[in-house]
Amino acid sequence: RTTLLPDRSLQILMPSESDLGFYSCVATNAFGSDSLSSPITLAGKPVIKAAGTDLISLTSGSLTVDVGSTLKAILGSSITIRCQAAGVPKAEISWFKDHVMLLGVHSALQDGSLLISNASLSDQGLYSCQAANLHGRATESTQLLMLDPPQADPELVDLTNILSAAGAGIHSVLTSVVGNTVLLNSGNTVLIACPVKGHPLPNITWFYNEQLISRVLEFKYRTLVGNQIIQIPNIGKDLQGEFSCLSQNEAGSLKQKTTLVILDYQWSMDGMLPCSVSCGNKGLQYPRLRCLLDNMEVDVAQCKERPKPTIQPAPCNRKDCPARFKFTLRQLISCTGMSNILEVFCSPVDKRGNSLPLSLYFTMDSVPEPVSTQHKNRALCIGWKASNYAMCNGQCIGPRMATQHREVFCQARNGTMVPSAQCSSLARPASAQNCSTDSCHTHWRIGYWTQCTATCGNYGFQSRRVECVHSHSRKALREQFCSWRPRPANWQRCNIVPCENKECRDTTRYCEKVKQLKLCQLSQFKVRCCESCRDV
């Protein structure tokens, strides 16, 4: 029934519904080719020309495609999706995004095409063109996926939070596109981060001196945060060099790097310090410690993280000391006052530190009491007093652990209560302490999730029972007994996936109620209860 006529035109005899569609004429010679398409249709349901292949565009500019394919484009692109429809009478074109009609969100062109200017991540989704006339409707869809090439971003919140929380002795290093040099002490633990963003999230590969790090370092490192950070403990001069990360996704790649220089600080014992005393039996002489970097002396603070060598002092100046006066002031302190006794004696001291027989000794009583000590004497007459601890029945703070309390008050020695301010200069005993009790041997008991209220869409949820129980008796308790650990969630969203419109069916068990309450006119209920609302 199909014939190519001498004038190169195409003849179709007795056309049927199977002949409907778009026919393309292609002319070719030595200088190139050209083509033109023409639709053949019958009065009836519209026909939409659909693209045959998927497309990836890695340049941000103007892009035009036919509906019916998967399109991947760079952020910032200007995208036109054509919807060429044939039908008698002429079909009316409508556009949908993720099954929701577009009303003024994007620009619809006169030929029925859809224009998305300066596309962003929020424009990503399923775009559907619907052509409709009196005889029916046809739909073709294009899945739009946005691409963002890898870009350096040293301000990434998740990454900077982890690096700032690193403990003492752990150093954080950020790679960069131009590269940088970081000085580290030998023996430190280092975190090297690759601050990069992009869409989809780039895959990261690490290198050490241009070689795959997994082949060079083997088990000397580990990766964190989806391979964005590598951790190297106890780094030494053998790991001095360039570390780089290669980030890749469908839109491109980015390489960032940093160079580590390892400083090896060491303690050295050189010479001896002066003797601690000039005579007697207590003289000790210690070696002099120095901090060296490549045999050059530096500030001793640079060696504070290096273990100090064992120091053995040597005895010195162990000869007898000459005779000398010694003065000793003894204080006899009571609640009512203080008596001072001054002892003065002259005697030689042997090399063991012992005093030889006294040649002069006398005491002096009633030395005036310093004014600064008078208020301290009064403090000896008062003090903190604490009662016994109460039963261990306070708030649970852990497994089998609660708190117990007691009263603490300021009291004179005669048993009289006095204001607490008079004891403020004294150490106050604790008024609470942790204690062990079986009543805090509890845990959260979690039930099974109920069936989801929907199979798709944005409104499905499910719940479960969560209660505090005793670990041995299994009896339910008030939730305050389990408050020492977080309470698990008792409901959650579920089946949050788009509902396919190609098959008209109910996606929730409440559709009979929706129909009875006359809610089918609302789009969100009409989509989820398609079958029940079909005749409404």
Q: How many whole angstroms separate alpha carbon 195 and alpha carbon 350? A: 71
Which DSSP string corresponds to 400-430? TEEEEE--EEEEETTS-B--GGGGTTSPPPP
Are the C-beta atoms of residues 172 and 193 closer than 8 Å to each other? yes
Q: What is the domain range of residue 425?
A: 382-439
| Residue 440 tokens, joined | 């805090």
Work out the burial of residue 74: count CB atoms within 10 Å of its CB; fewer than 13 is exposed, 13-18 middle, 19 or more buried.
buried
Within a domain: residue 372?
no
Residue 377 lies in a domain: no
Within this chain, do residues 405 and 430 fall inside the same structural domain, yes or no? yes
345 φ/ψ angles, rounded to the nearest 5 degrees: -145, 160
Beta strand residue intervals within 273-359, DSSP E? 284-285, 287-293, 296-298, 314-315, 321-333, 338-349
Residues 411 and 449 in one domain: no
Find how far residue 251's CA is from the centre of its chain: 26
Residue with tokens 């399923």, as numbered in its chain: 126
The arithmetic mean of pLDDT across residues 61-86, rounded, is 90
Residue 519 scores a pLDDT above 90:
no
Residue 468 in domain:
yes
Is 352 domain-assigned? yes
Residues 312 and 325 in one domain: no
Helix (H) or strand (E) segment spanning residue 216:
helix 213-216
Query: Residue 160: which H helix or E strand, with range?
Result: helix 157-164
CA distances from 94 to 102, 134, 470, 525 (A): 8, 15, 61, 21
Q: Among 2-16, 203-217, 266-280, which is the least confidently predicted range? A: 266-280
Q: Are residues 101 and 60 in the same domain?
A: yes
pLDDT in tens, 18-46: 888 888 999 999 999 999 988 887 677 88
Average pLDDT of span 452-462: 80
Cβ–Cβ under 8 Å, residues 268 and 294: no
Residues 272 and 246 in one domain: no
- Residue 356: CB atoms within 10 A of its CB come to 11
How far does Cα 183 stand from its chain's mean position?
Answer: 27
Element (H, E) at 96: strand 92-97
Q: Cβ distance 466 to 444 under 8 Å?
A: yes
Cα dihedral across residues 91, 97, 99, 103: positive or negative: negative
CB atoms under 10 Å from CB of 251, counted, come to 22
DSSP-derived 3-state class of residue 156: coil
What predicted TM-score, i.e. pTM, was given to this entire model?
0.46
The pLDDT of 455-477, averaged and rounded, is 86
Using a pLDDT cut of 90, give the percent of the chain over it: 23
pLDDT in tens, 345-371: 666 666 565 666 554 444 444 444 444
Co-location of 162 and 213 in the same domain: yes
Q: CATH number, domain at 114?
A: 2.60.40.10
Same domain (yes/no): 165, 254: yes
Report how many domains make up the chain.
8
Tell me what pLDDT residue 377 has. Answer: 44
- 323: pLDDT confidence band, cut at 50, 70 and 90? low
